[in-house]
Structure 1
């Protein structure tokens, strides 16, 4: 199970009406979003935006979608690296993944030069052929 890095996935904020002469304010809940840098074997692969929590599972899915791993056994270790906020608390915004022995590390072709999101992985790809070409395992057609 993943580590929850915040007490809640939502943040309470005060919303002030924009452009209004009124001084009314109201409380609102918004989903928190923070960056997550993903390093594989010591090399930064990508940085994505995500709602904190379950980062290990998110990164496993990303690596699988990129064709770098085929199962959870391909990952020897996933751990948060140090990074602190102004109060000295770990930000949990850098996840280091060590691949298992025998798993080929990512080459330069895997480093994203475009924005990466925590969606399915199609965003940032330039064509369907590019997506289909980086599969780690074949997909059999359903008849």
Structure 2
């Protein structure tokens, strides 16, 4: 199990705690860190995202893959800190393997930016269906095992335990074993870190795995799960209408409000047994 024990995402902040009786206590509180991460392709700036520091190489690999710029570990020649940057701690440099067309990556990037303006839900579904085949996985998980995942995820949220201000994503196998957990101020970043971990450690594709997220499920979460070929996505909170539509169309089992002893299954319930 590769739990996220990285506590670099924690900072101290002075706070005045106000009490019901009118009293005030001054103390130092643990707060989550949020800083920009610049991802460069070679020496060229590519994208900047706000994230919680830690596992930045995984974040870069996961982002590049779930956004459709890359498809396998072999696409990457090297992912490391850009030591020449003014802030290397917040800069990751990605060197692509020979044969990966950088101009195609650039066109995909700008195409995604222009296509994001004014599109409807139906167009979004059609777009990702053209990019990724439907998931046909025969992966199944026992109902009791699925119901146990929120507690297993919560017990491993080290930084959340100290700050109360992070999202988390966990990757599980069919037996309910936690393979990787990552936390981040951005829910999409937490997922990209998990997917990047799987990609870089040759746990790929993820056709026999379960994704558990700590919050709600948006379209973006399902889109990234589809890119990683994850057949079962579960959350302790609610999914959006578009997330449900995409899951139904693309073959993903989507579970919401997963809180023992009940759950809501919005699509493809055949993967839950028992």
Quickly name the TM-score band, shorter chain normalised: 0.5 to 0.7
**Distance between the aligned counterparts of 1:133 and 1:55, measured in 2?**
29
Structure with the larger RCO, 1 or 2 (CA within 8 Å, 6+ apart) = 1
Q: Indicate the SS of the match to 2:54.
A: coil
Shift of 1:23: 5.7
The partner residue of 1:141 within 136, 139, 146 is: 136
Provide closer, same or farther for how the CA distance between residues 26 and 130 of structure 1 changes in structure 2, counting only shifts above 3 A.
Answer: farther
| 2:11 aligned with 1:11 | yes
Match of 2:126 in 1: 129
What stretches of structure 2 of length at least 5 have no aligned partner? 1-5, 139-274
Shift of 1:15: 1.0
Q: Confirm or deny: 8 A CA contact 2:42 2:93 kept in the other structure.
A: yes
Shift of 1:139: 4.2
| 2:109 aligned with 1:110 | yes
Q: TM-score normalised to the size of structure 2?
A: 0.38
Greater helix fraction, Structure 1 or Structure 2: 2
Q: TM-score normalised to the size of structure 1?
A: 0.66
Q: Confirm or deny: 8 A CA contact 1:66 1:134 kept in the other structure.
A: no
Cα deviation code 1:19-76 (max 9, x no counterpart): xx86632221111111001111333221101111111111111111122222112100
Shift of 1:91: 4.5
Shift of 1:113: 4.6
Q: Confirm or deny: 8 A CA contact 1:79 1:96 kept in the other structure.
A: yes
What stretches of structure 1 of length at least 5 have no aligned partner? 1-5, 85-89, 115-122
Match of 1:62 in 2: 63
Matched residues, number: 121
Runs of 4+ in 1 over 6 A off after TM superposition: none
